[in-house]
Amino acid sequence: MPRSSPTLSAIHVMPRAGEGAGEGLGLAQLAGLLRRSWRWIAIPTLVACVGAIAFVQVVSPRYTGEAKVLLESRDTSFTRTAQERGEQAQPIDEQAVASQVQVVMSRDLAREAIRSLKLVGNAEFDPDVAGIGPLQRALMMIGLAKNPLERAPEDRMLDTYFDRLLVYPAGKSRILAVEFRSKDPELAARAANTVAELYIASLEAAKTDTARYASTWLGGNIDALRTRVAEAEAKVEAYRARNGLITTGGASSQPLGNQQLAELSTQLSQARTVKADLAGRAKLIKEMIKDGRAFEIPDVANNEIIRRAVEQRITMRGQLALESRTLLPAHPRIKELTAQISDLDAQIKATAERVVRTMENDARIAEARVESLTAAVDGQRDVVSKGNSSEVQLRALEREAKAQRDQLESYLSRYREASARDAESATPADARIVSRAVTPEIPSFPKKVPIVLLALVLALLFSMGGVIARHLLSDPGSAGRRRSEEDTEAPAEQPPVAGPQPFAFPEASLSLSREAAPATARIAFPFTAAAATRSPDPTPSVAVQGYDLDQLIGRLSDAARGSAGRTVLVAETGSDDLAKTLATTLAGRARTLLLDLNGPACGPDDAGLTDLVAGEADFLDVIQSVSGSRLHVIPRGFLDAQILTEEPQGLAITLDALAEAYDWVVCRLGNAHGRLAHDILSAAGRHMGAVVLASDTDPDDADLVALYALAQSSGAGQVLVAQDRAPRVMSAPVHHADDLDMPLRLSAA
Cα separation, 228 vs 650, in Å, equals 108
Q: What is the pLDDT of residue 331?
A: 84
- Residue range 365-388, pLDDT digits in tens: 888 888 888 888 887 777 677 666
Task: Return the pLDDT at 289.
Answer: 74
Interaxial angle between packed helices 185-242 and 107-117, expressed in degrees from 0 to 180 and rounded to the nearest 10: 130
Mean pLDDT score across all residues of the chain: 76
User: What type of residue sits at position 639?
Assistant: L
pLDDT in the model for residue 34: 86
555-571 burial, b for 16+ CB within 10 Å, e for fewer?
bbeebbeeebbbbbbbb
HSE-CB for 667 with a 13 A CA cutoff: 31
DSSP codes, 20-46: HHHH---HHHHHHHHHHTHHHHHHHHH
pLDDT above 60 (res 535): no
Which of 266, 228, 260 shows the shortest CA–CA distance to 245? 260
Q: What is the mean pLDDT of residues 535-554?
A: 54
Closest Cα to residue 375, out of 256, 260, 264? 264
Q: Which residue type does 461 have?
A: L
Burial class (CB in 10 A: 0-12, 13-18, 19+), 549: buried
pLDDT at 521: 29
Closest CA to 401 of 228, 219, 182: 228
CA-nearest of 42, 45, 49, 33 to 469 is 33
Whether residue 699 is predicted with pLDDT greater than 60 in this model: the reply is yes
User: Could you tell me which of 119, 110, 127 has the C-alpha nearest to residue 167?
Assistant: 110
At 487 the pLDDT is: 40
- Lowest mean per-residue pLDDT among 93-102, 295-304, 350-359: 295-304
Domains assigned to the chain: 58-216+427-435 (3.30.1890), 256-421 (no CATH), 544-722 (3.40.50.300)
Compute the Cα dihedral for 656, 657, 658, 662 and give only its sign. positive
DSSP SS3 for 271: helix
**Quick one: average pLDDT of 80-109?**
78
What is the pLDDT at residue 41? 92
Q: What is the pLDDT of residues 134-161, one digit of tens each?
A: 776 677 777 776 666 667 778 888 889 9
What's the rounded mean pLDDT across residues 215-229? 88
Model's pTM, two decimal places?
0.46
pLDDT, residue 26, reads 67
Q: Which of 740, 742, 729, 722 is nearest to 572 (CA)?
A: 722
**Separate counts of helices (H) and strands (E) for the chain:** 24, 13
What pLDDT does 373 receive?
84
Tell me the percentage of the chain whose pLDDT exceeds 90.
Answer: 28
- Quote the CA–CA distance of 243 and 625 in Å, as a whole number: 128
- Res 118 pLDDT > 60: yes
Q: Residue 708: which pLDDT band, with cuts at 50, 70 and 90?
A: very high
Reported as a single tens digit per residue, the pLDDT across 125-138 is 877 665 666 776 67
Tens digit of each residue's pLDDT (9 = 90 or more) over 546-605? 556 888 888 888 765 554 568 999 999 876 688 999 999 999 888 999 999 998 999 888
Q: 48 pLDDT band (50/70/90 cuts)? A: very high
Bond preceding residue 446 cis, omega within 30 of 0: yes
**359 DSSP β-pair partners:** none
232, pLDDT greater than 60: yes
Residue 481 has pLDDT above 80, yes or no: no
Largest Cα–Cα separation, the chain? 215
- Cβ proximity of 523 and 503 under 8 Å: no
What's residue 29's pLDDT? 73
